[in-house]
């Protein structure tokens, strides 16, 4: 299934992307694409529905973030060896974890703000993992059973805020609009192997990132298991699993985003995002 949320910011309704290209309304069936809806029983109940029996959503509504009420937005740094090298760092021996503020979450086609004082806003296409059931001290061979599905993430980053302003990476990762997710949450059963997905990003029509999740240092099962040793993962938590090479910081000389540019990114089976960059608003 391809689950989504549509409507104005803060007023999104749950929906399903049907094979015929329509959006089908799930309001009245589930409260949101969040919480218990993401568990095994909730997804099974949705899977049992006949999509043709669901109301068609008219027009072309805004597509919002594909998961609601996200409790934790956990990110993994330097998880592709070739990306680590392009930033001048050695590949890590254990996953590097940091948090992205949930207020950064936005829709897949929403505008991305360039923060005030920014000179180094950058792009990062990533595979997102959406947790479906509580996971604490989970073994690696049991980890995927706790995954509801996958989504596309753009881990937008301000490199000067991240690395030149002291402290941890979070301040460079958390500006409003720096976490577009979606368009869909694609349930786990539709992705045969999360470590065999093409992943790419373009800026103004130029391909900047072109990789595969097979080159991750730590795969999805390892990451879910590893993170669960340090914190309990809850339904709706999102893990952004790292980015392949080709980020702006890695170019020589580096290139960064400015207002008026367009990012387009995608992952096999998870859809495509498009964002226009704008100056930050209040």
Whole-number pLDDT of residue 84: 78
Residues 24 and 141 in one domain: no
Does residue 116 lie within any of the structural domains? yes
Helix boundaries (H) for the chain: 40-47, 81-86, 159-163, 220-227
pLDDT, one tens digit for every residue, the chain (282 residues): 999 999 999 999 999 999 999 999 999 999 999 999 999 999 999 999 999 999 999 999 999 999 999 999 999 999 998 787 777 778 899 999 999 999 999 999 999 999 999 999 999 999 999 999 999 999 999 999 999 999 999 999 999 999 999 888 999 999 999 999 999 999 999 999 999 999 999 999 999 999 999 999 999 999 999 999 999 999 999 999 999 999 999 999 999 999 999 999 999 999 999 999 999 999
Does residue 126 lie within any of the structural domains? yes
Whole-number pLDDT of residue 87: 76
Matching residue, tokens 């938590």: 237
73-218-37 Cα angle (round to 5): 40
Which residue, among 108, 88, 125, 270, has the nearest Cα to 209 in the 3D structure? 125
Residues 7 and 108 in one domain: no
Beta-ladder partners of 188: none
Rounded alpha-carbon distances, angstroms, from residue 23 to 5, 15, 184, 269: 10, 6, 11, 17
Beta-ladder partners of 122: 157
Token pair listed for 257:
């985003």
Does residue 59 lie within any of the structural domains? no
Does residue 97 lie within any of the structural domains? yes
Spell out a b/e string for 148-160, using b for 16 or more CB atoms within 10 Å of the CB, else e. bbbbbbbbbbbbb
The CATH number covering residue 220 comes to 3.90.850.10
Query: Domain range holding 224?
Result: 73-279
Residues 19 and 155 in one domain: no
Residues 259 and 180 in one domain: yes
Residues 132 and 243 in one domain: yes
Residues 114 and 46 in one domain: no
Which residue, among 101, 46, 97, has the nearest Cα to 70 in the 3D structure? 101
Beta-ladder partners of 145: none
Residues 124 and 233 in one domain: yes
Does residue 64 lie within any of the structural domains? no
Which tens digit of pLDDT belongs to each residue from 211-251?
Answer: 999 999 999 999 999 999 999 999 999 999 999 999 999 99
Cα separation, 183 vs 274, in Å, equals: 10
Residues 115 and 250 in one domain: yes
Backbone angles phi, psi at 160, to 5 degrees: -65, -45
Whole-number pLDDT of residue 264: 99
Residues 25 and 132 in one domain: no
Residues 220 and 114 in one domain: yes
Radius of gyration, CA atoms only, the chain: 18
Residues 121 and 205 in one domain: yes
Number of domain units in the chain: 2
Token pair listed for 254:
């580096």
């Amino acid at each position: 299934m391809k689950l989504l949320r549509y409507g104005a910011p803060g007023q999104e309704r749950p929906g399903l992307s049907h094979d015929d290209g329509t959006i089908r309304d799930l309001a009245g069936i589930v409260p949101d694409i969040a919480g218990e809806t993401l568990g095994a029983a909730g997804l099974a109940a949705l899977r049992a529905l006949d999509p043709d029996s669901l109301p068609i959503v008219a027009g072309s509504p805004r597509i919002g973030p594909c998961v609601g009420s996200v409790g934790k937005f956990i990110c993994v740094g330097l998880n592709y060896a070739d990306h680590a090298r392009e930033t001048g760092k050695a590949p890590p021996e254990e996953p590097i974890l940091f948090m992205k503020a949930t207020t950064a979450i936005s829709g897949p086609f929403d505008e991305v703000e360039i923060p005030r004082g920014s000179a180094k806003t950058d792009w990062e296409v990533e595979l997102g993992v959406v947790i479906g059931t509580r996971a604490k001290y989970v073994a690696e061979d049991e980890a995927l059973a706790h995954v509801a599905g996958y989504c596309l993430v753009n881990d937008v980053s301000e490199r000067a805020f991240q690395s030149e302003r002291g402290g941890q990476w979070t301040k460079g990762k958390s500006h409003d609009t720096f976490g577009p997710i979606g368009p869909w949450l694609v349930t786990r059963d539709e992705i045969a192997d999360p470590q065999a997905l093409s992943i790419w990003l373009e800026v103004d029509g130029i391909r900047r990132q072109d990789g595969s999740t097979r080159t991750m240092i730590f795969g999805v099962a390892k990451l879910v298991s590893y993170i669960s040793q340090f914190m309990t993962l809850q339904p709706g938590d999102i893990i952004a699993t790292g980015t392949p090479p080709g980020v702006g910081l890695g170019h020589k000389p580096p290139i960064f985003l400015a207002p008026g540019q367009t990012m387009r990114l995608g992952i096999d089976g998870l859809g495509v995002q498009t964002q226009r960059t704008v100056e930050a608003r209040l």
